[in-house]
Amino acid sequence: MKIYLIVLFLFFNVAFAKPQDNLAPTIINPGSVEVPRSVTSTASGSHEIEGLKKSKVEISRDSPQSLDSTSADKDFVGLKAWLLKLINDPIALFTLVLAIYTFQLSRTTTRLWREAKSAGKTADESAQAAKIAADSAKRTVDAYMMAERAWVSLVGTQTIQFENAIDINNQLHSGTQFHLQWKNTGKTPARNVILHSNKKIILPDEGEPSFQFDATGENMKQGVLFPEALVTTPPQQFVLADIERLKKREIRIFVYGYAEYSDVYSEQHTRHTEVCLEIRYDGVENGRNRFVLTQSTSHNSVL
């Protein structure tokens, strides 16, 4: 803007200045300028020399003021002639204005580009910081949910020996029952809980049996399991004849347990705990059979 004002000022100063007959400066010879003598000496030579000295105007060749004044006059005349050329030649004037405008536009464009680049960098940094904050918040929420969610776990087994029990066919039997004990060790209730158990008897040379959870089968319990609540699955019973064969190591006995549930934080996400135990005879204690339950190599998982 300052450049535009200076150009306009010089333009109007030249355009409305009074015309002069001679624009060329009078160049003074850096010597001496003689002024016509007003008095003619009629006396001796000394009076004539004295008169000439008095009628002389001396200009020093080495005077800085005189040289600077002459240079300034030359510059002013050159500038004025240049401006007059601009006035008389519209194309030259337009070219000058266009050059100034282009220069200013280039500066403005460069400044805007730098500001946009800085703003883009700031936006990227802000987006990165927001992403880090969001990830941190999600990890915090996930950790809280993991600490507070329900955990249905197998916490123990219970062995009960029975005698002369009547089965569904009104037959008397004696033997041993095995109960799997489950507990919600979390801090919030477990919902839609399904507890399932099963058993299998195999020969010693057979591999470990396979089990499959059947939500529609028998030996199940359903409901809500509150924190620290302890429940058992329906018992798995083995008659006395099976126990005697187990003592002789003629058979192997396996008990399977499965718990399916959802927690209050993700009701649509189903969780489960699966366990498979082998029952081994471990002698007699206080007149009663003693058993040891060991974990099998398959069907043991948690989600």
User: Which of the residue ranges 18-32, 115-129, 141-155 would you say has the lowest mean pLDDT?
Assistant: 18-32
| Across 89-93, 193-197, 216-220, 287-291, least confident range | 216-220
The CATH T-level fold of domain 152-302 is Immunoglobulin-like (2.60.40)
Q: Write down the mean pLDDT value for the chain.
A: 76
In degrees and rounded to multiples of 5, residue 76 shows phi and psi of: -65, -45
User: pTM value?
Assistant: 0.55
Cα 166 to chain centroid distance, Å, stands at: 69
Tell me: pLDDT of 18 over 60.
no
| Domain boundary assignment for the chain | 2-88, 152-302
Identify the pLDDT of residue 28: 47
What pLDDT is attached to residue 117?
78
Q: Is 90 exceeded by the pLDDT of residue 66? A: no
Residue 116 banded pLDDT, cuts 50, 70, 90:
confident
If one compares 40 and 200, the residue with the highest pLDDT of the two is: 200
Q: State yes or no: pLDDT of 232 exceeds 70.
A: yes
Between these two residues, 246 and 17, which has the higher pLDDT value?
246
Round to whole Å and give the CA distance between 127 and 16: 61
What is the per-residue pLDDT across 130-152, written as a single tens digit (0 to 9) for each?
888 888 888 888 888 888 889 99
pLDDT at 157 over 70: yes
Output the pLDDT for position 188.
92
In the chain, % of residues over pLDDT 70: 69
Confidence of residue 59 (pLDDT cuts 50, 70, 90): very low
Looking at per-residue pLDDT, the higher value among 17 and 101 belongs to 101
Q: Which of 266, 186, 265 is nearest to 226 (CA)?
A: 186
Q: How confident is the model at residue 222 (pLDDT cuts 50, 70, 90)?
A: confident
Position with higher pLDDT, 121 vs 78: 121
